[in-house]
Amino acid sequence: MKWYTEQWSNHCKFSIGYNEEIHSEQSPFQKIDFYKSEEFGTFFTLDELMMVNEKDEFVYHDMITHPAFATNPDIKKVLIIGGGDGGTAREVLRYKSVEKVVMVEIDELVFRLSQKYLPITAAGVEEDPRMEIIFDDGLAYVQNAADQSFDLILVDSTDPISVGEGLFTTAFYKECYRVLNEKGILINQHESPYFAEYAENMRKAHKKIKGIFPIASVYQFHMPTYPSGHWLFGFASKALHPIKDIQVDAWDKFGLKTKYYNTDLHVGAFALPTFVKEALDCDER
């Protein structure tokens, strides 16, 4: 057995034993590696950072997708920025009421390799007639999108380095605000509150979004293979509050079977630990 090791902080590393590396390739944007392991199944990394694995991908993809639909069950048009593994699109497409999904992924190779090696997330996504996949820069796409053209934007990005950097800027969040309709919801990466570097990115992202959206909240989930396991998403909206406006009965009527998300957990996920609230300077709105 060999070991994949990721540096979580200057003094902490995370390792997974793997049987074989099944693919390694340098795209024009990043280094992509696929591995087979006993504990986590097939997993892939970008620039040697864990992205997706078969064992816990359902946690991330449930939590980036379903809280928005439980808050606004009438979502029809969805924009996914990033999400090249296909898992977020897979979950969105489970909603038969959704009419149009646009996924803008900068690196086509991520999607093509996921189709081949990680069908649990990518299989069937491209074939859905409601799906439009654009291999381009997400920031550029949003800048050129029409006003109020989407009900929901899901920013399924990497960390704010390399190709993901532009998706953590004030300019990007302002464009998202413009492109969302009057009940629009934005879900975006908020990193982790635990290690210093990630916590700083968390604070920066939340501060920027609070200055743009009238409703800006943060929710948490347990992601075992992301640094510290304690991971956050931001929930921002022009009009809908994730707790006050949750529509439990309407979401239940979708009849979706989920492995992580449920509406009780939805409410609990927004109840943050004190140290996280203090770091975010949360004046919940």
Residues identified as active-site = 156
Our measurement of the distance from residue 169's CA atom to the centroid of its chain's CA atoms, rounded to an integer in Å, reads 16
Our measurement of the distance from residue 2's CA atom to the centroid of its chain's CA atoms, rounded to an integer in Å, reads 29
Strands of 41-46's sheet in order across? 20-26, 31-37, 41-46, 49-53
Strands, DSSP E only, in the chain?
Answer: 2-9, 12-18, 20-26, 31-37, 41-46, 49-53, 77-82, 100-104, 131-134, 150-156, 180-189, 215-222, 230-237
* Euclidean distance between CA atoms 3 and 65, whole angstroms: 32
CA atoms within 13 A on the CB side of 284: 13
Strands, DSSP E only, in 105-149?
Answer: 131-134
Sequential DSSP letters for 75-94: --EEEEEE-TTSHHHHHHHT
Q: Which two tokens stand for residue 220?
A: 């948490």
Closest among 166, 160, 123, 122 to 141, alpha carbons compared: 166
3-state class of 175 per DSSP? helix
With a CB cutoff of 8 Å and minimum separation 6, the contacts of 48 are 6, 31, 33
Place of tokens 């006050």: 244
Question: Using an 8 Å Cβ cutoff, are 200 and 239 in contact?
Answer: no
